[in-house]
Amino acid sequence: MPSIDYEAARTMLNREFEHVEAELLLGNVQTIDRRLVRHFDIIFRSATQAYREVLIGCILARLQDKSIDVHKPYINQGNNAYNGRTLDERVVNPILQERRVPCSRGPFLSAFRRSVRFNRRTREGLRDKKGFDSLLVLVDHIASTDNDKTLIELLRYLIYKFNLLRSGAEILISHLSRISLEQYDTLITRLLSYQSGGRFPVFLVEAAFQAIKTVFNLSWVIECLGINVADSPSGAGGDITIRQDDRIIMAIEITERTVDRSRVVSTFNTKIAPQGIEDYLFFLKNPGIEDNVLQQTRQYFSQGHEVNFLEVKNWIVMILATLGRNGRTIFNQFLVNKLTARENPATVKLAWNNAIAELTST
């Protein structure tokens, strides 16, 4: 009788969710055999949630043991059957709920009669027969696939579809209560550790500048580019451009990558010099600048252009300390409003909620 390592299955499903979510933030989408796409679309339009949830268990089971017949999700169905209900109760359903994916509240097999087999005879007792027909096509395909790479591709496409489903559901953003500077340090560290497609670093820095503007009643116009929007065609100086009286007084580039000399030179030639920007800031996720980079910026300083480097977390914490309680409240409100925007991926909103939950539970 085949057996399933439920902990290994849980680790794999979580890992593949993280992989797909990271790829989606970069704009990459998993592809599969085009002949199967129509059947995935049908089961994801079905009101019977179990049809799509069944497939996760089938793929996880098949990845662990090719002797398993995924048409038989009950162990009393023969030597090549597996315990689909336990797999769902311990792995699939908890992970879908943890990740706020719209799903069944109980085991997916409860939508079928007991000891169901995924075959044509089961079809007659079901309401959504068209959806079940597509489920059978996909189960048959999984059952006949021995290649792990192909099975992983199917799992990733399935997770991609679940992500689209989750994106259509409303995710309420946890509000940030008054917290200490020590807690801000912890919160920012957590947010910067998440895969967000660059959103968290930009949101945090923009919120800090907005708080500075409001507290000191400055006549700044703060412009922030959208994520993955090229700044050159838009005429922006960087990810954030601060103007006053139609003049760029400061341009900010926020990066999670190392800034080397070639990048500084390119930025100077394409943005700083053409627009006459006198104050350019690089905000870095991690500290550390090579000597040849600093030598280059000293040359630009002598030409009237200041190029400086700041580490995101430390700068923000110092700004929040300087602005006082009122400034921190403004920072919090702006950050929450920014995250509430519908265009933000569900993964980013969930990461924020998880960070707040971890912070308030300690």
Which domains does the chain show, CATH number per domain? 6-167 (no CATH), 181-361 (3.40.91)
Copy the structure tokens of residue 51.
């049809």
Q: Over the stretch 87-106, which tens digit does the pLDDT of each residue have?
A: 999 999 999 998 889 888 77
Closest CA to 269 of 280, 283, 257, 284: 280
Which residues, at least 6 apart from 30, have a Cβ–Cβ distance to it below 8 Å?
20, 23, 153, 156, 157, 159, 160
Q: How many CB atoms lie within 10 A of CB 17?
A: 21
> 0.85 cut: is pTM over it?
no
**Going edge to edge, which strands form the sheet with 221-224?**
221-224, 240-244, 247-255, 279-284, 306-311
Copy the structure tokens of residue 4.
């399933």
Measure the N-to-C terminal CA separation of the chain; round to a whole number of Å: 44
pLDDT (tens, 9 = 90+) of the chain, 362 residues, equals 678 999 999 999 999 999 998 888 877 888 899 899 999 999 999 988 889 999 999 999 999 999 999 999 888 888 899 998 899 999 999 999 988 898 887 766 666 767 788 888 888 778 889 999 999 999 999 999 999 999 999 999 999 999 888 887 778 889 888 899 999 999 999 999 988 888 999 999 999 999 999 999 999 999 998 766 555 555 667 899 999 998 999 999 999 888 999 999 999 999 999 999 999 999 998 877 889 999 999 998 999 999 999 999 999 999 999 999 999 999 999 999 999 888 888 889 989 998 998 887 76
Fill in the DSSP letter of residue 226: P
DSSP letters spanning 250-292: EEEEEESS---HHHHHHHIIIIIHHHT-SEEEEEESS----HH
- Residue type (1 letter), 219: S
| Cα 70 to Cα 260: distance, rounded to the nearest angstrom | 52
- Residue type (1 letter), 42: I
- Residue type (1 letter), 271: K
List the beta bridge partners of residue 284. 255, 311
Q: Cα angle at 174 between 25 and 47, to 5 degrees?
A: 65
